[in-house]
Chains A and B, each alone.
Chain A
Amino acid sequence: MEEVPVKIFTTSHVGIARQYFFLSLAAVLLGSVLSLYMRFHLTYPQKGEITPELYLSWLTLHGTVMVFFVLTLAPSGAFGNLVLPGQLGAKEMAFPVLNAWSFWVTLLSFLVLVASFLATGGGPLSGWTAYPPLSVVGAIAGPGEGLGQTLWFVSIAIFCVAQLLGAINFIVTVTDLRAPGMTLLRMPLTCWSWFVTAVLSLLSFAVLLPAGILILMDRLVGTSFFVPGGLLVGDMVIQHEGGSPLLWQHLFWFFGHPEVYIAILPGMGLVSHLLATFARRPVPGYRAMVWSTVAIAVLGMVVWGHHMFTSGLNPYSVMAFSVLTMVIGVPSTVKTLNWIGTVWGAKLRLNAPMLYCLGFVSIFVTGGLSGLVLGQAQLDTYFHDTYFVVAHFHLIMGVAALFGIFAATHYWFPLLFGRMMNDTLGKWHFYLTFVGAYAMFLPMHFAGFAGNPRRYADFTTFTFLGQVLTLQKGITHAAFFTGAVQLLFLYNLFHSISRGVKAKQNPWESTSIEWAGEPAVAEIFRGPYELGLYGERDYRMQNEGGEE
């Protein structure tokens, strides 16, 4: 593979991909350390050592860092930038300079977020969802609700700008820069995912940005979009009137639900692509996969209300949101069956990237099924804001998306750094993480069954929480185990960057043309998954001409 020079102000898609990769790596380390701190103090409280406000500010920073700077950046920012142009047969993203800008604006947003945590008064404590009035009325509502919360909203608003720039770039790249012959239905499923993800980003961050600006205005210039009149916080009468706290929830979740698909769709595309590559077999229902991706995105735009079943919504909207939410299980089922179908009866190459993909499918099933519990409004009124929800989204969004990221790192490492990662270490890392993930998050559902509320800084006040303490301690142990296992991945990563085996051309015998080795491919002659053919080579790359 050719060397890509390391430059700080680069407009090369590979350089920018690396920047996103390392930013999200830094973010995931920060977020993980915070989570281990939280788990420890939650289940082994030390007298007087940490205050609830400190715990809650860790919680807020953990959620924000993970959702925005890991699960949004790595799948699209890092791997989308790295691979999309190559797979389409383009030299570069459509707007290379804009692309660089998106990264630097994202970095700025990250720095402001860290600043919010270090601000006088402490970090904000209102969670990644930042519901008003708690997040608006200022330091009187809690330490960290002063400057810290303001900076938090500023950081999110900046992040939205970066994402909007990135989304436009992805969309135009797909619509305009495909090589001749690369019709939409010849695009690898990865490209479809990045494309649909970018459309979702455009539509959802375009709502979060103004929402963030409005709430900043509430905080800073005394408007009242989200705060009603007649509030007394602490012993201070609040000077707002006529706003609606539910309006924020609508705007936030109109962004928030698509956001969870922004985190997972690239992983889904990757899994479809890699399962086929490592099973040496075409994706059985390519069109069904495309349509289910689109269906998930469309439905994903109209189900935000399922986060608000208990918020005081009109019961008729609850009904509508509940039905739509259950329907989203349908394209998810199609995808799952397709993945199982891809590997069914095929001769599998069980390299590390493939293992992560199999793990993804397993975790996606487990996490998705609990969604079908939460989607029923009647059941959600019990589980909402309990550890059941925490288990649901950590499995499906946390672990599944991370497995996608691990698979992508191993698989595309040659494009990132010109070398291969160690496959054996990767396998060990997979098995241990896979078991660790189940050990953490399956028992967590049971804490939810017992009604254990989430976002509690301690489990000491309520009698009924006595009964979950042992369980919660077990989860903490599993978390430390899984955390420790990640050192394997880090070692493998950094060791392979400098010492890994030099990668051959097209090391995984893939059909897609990011491996073709030429920056721009002249012409595309075939569909993306011509695999498992008879003859001396069992695959054809998309840019190969000739018969068949």
Chain B
Amino acid sequence: MLPGAVLVFLTAVCLLLFQVKPAWFPPAVSAGAYAFDLQFTRTLWILGVLFAAAQLMLAWAVLRGGKKRRASAPFGRFAEPVAAAGACLLFLGLAAGGASDWGKVAERAPGKEIIEVYAHQFAWSFRYAGPDGKFGKTGLPFINDAAGNPIGVDPKDPAGKDDRTTATLRIPAGRDVLLLLHSRDVIHDFFVRELRTKQDIVPGMEIPFDIHVDKPGEYEIACAELCGLGHSQMRSLLIVMEPEAYERWKRSR
């Protein structure tokens, strides 16, 4: 008896928690994030039903008990293949629900605002190409955090003269932005909750990463891959600006 009652109680509390929501997602601000929320809600409902069904069946079996000694097998010989096939369809169906962005690779394309992201222990830098639209060369020997050159822009390369390096990431609202992710030392991860997405930044690789935010605002950028003792302090801001304000900011120096 008691174990069944405890199971029912815990199941109820678990489901109740989803009403109370002791903590929850921040509002979504991009198309990808809306799609995430939709798929997550779908998944949550399906899994919630499976959760309640399994727990309550278990609880019921314990509560009801049986009298007969040799209880005959509770289901026929086809029950298992049928259940397996059903589960397979259901789970693959779930997977298919999130399939719209399968196989998508972020790529350079005309019209995309391209911004470079540089992570290192334990800070973020962002580079804008400036009016010439070209990023200057970089090199290890030129890196000098104290002198404001955290990514090592080559002072001799004319293309780099007008590059701008910042500590927060500003982007225009409503435009496609392509981030090129770089790490100087160990693996970091670019995580913005409101975008519902994250991407590891692997040293030795340049990883392209699309973002597109509709709503102007300020969102925290967190590092989400253990990178050393300052990992939990590796914070920056994503500032999404009205497009005109962004253009003005870009022209200002």
Residues of A within 8 A of B (CB): 51-53, 56, 125-127, 131, 133-134, 137, 141-143, 228-234, 237, 243-246, 280-282, 284-285, 288, 310-312, 315-316, 318-319, 322-323, 326-327, 329-331, 333-334, 336-338, 340-341, 343-348, 350, 355, 358, 361-362, 365-366, 369-370, 372-373, 375-379, 381-382, 384-386, 431, 434-435, 438, 442-443, 446-447, 449-453, 455-459, 461-464, 467-468, 470-471, 474, 532-534, 538
Contact = CB atoms under 8 A, between A and B. Distances in A.
Given A228-B203, A232-B184, A347-B66, A442 B220 contact: no
A202 B70 CA distance: 40
B6 interface: yes
Given A345-B74, A459-B232, A467 B84 contact: no
B140 A230 contact: yes
A310 B231 contact: no
Interface string B69-110: 111011100011001100110011011011101111100000
A530 to B, nearest CB: 10
Nearest to A314: B105
Given A345-B61, A442-B14, A327 B91 contact: yes
Given A315-B105, A375-B95, A461 B233 contact: yes
Given A310-B189, A358-B7, A379-B40, 19 more contacts: A126-B226, A134-B187, A137-B186, A229-B204, A334-B87, A340-B61, A369-B51, A372-B43, A378-B98, A385-B224, A442-B13, A446-B21, A446-B24, A450-B25, A452-B23, A458-B232, A464-B220, A474-B22, A533-B70
Contacts of A326: 91-92, 94-95
A446 B58 CA distance: 25
Interface residues of B, number: 92
Contacts of A456: 231-232
A281 B71 contact: yes
B229 A51 contact: yes
Nearest to A126: B226
Contacts of B161: none
Interface stretch (B169-177, B194-202, B239-247): B194-202
A334 B202 contact: no
Query: By DSSP majority rule, is chain B's interface helix, strand, loop, or mixed?
Result: mixed
Contacts of B31: none
Contact of A358 (B51, B58, B94): B58
22 contacts: A52-B229, A125-B226, A131-B226, A134-B186, A231-B185, A232-B185, A237-B140, A310-B200, A319-B103, A322-B98, A327-B91, A327-B92, A340-B58, A340-B61, A343-B62, A348-B61, A348-B66, A379-B43, A434-B10, A442-B13, A442-B17, A450-B23
B187 to A, nearest CB: 6
A428 to B, nearest CB: 11
Nearest to B81: A288
B133 interface: no
Of B24, B69, B91, B186, the most chain A CB neighbours within 10 A belong to: B186
Contacts of A318: 102
Contacts of B61: 340, 343-346, 348
A366 B14 CA distance: 10
Interface string B157-190: 0000000000000000000000000001111010
A373 B36 CA distance: 11
Contacts of A127: 226
Given A131-B226, A343-B61, A344-B61, A327 B88 contact: yes
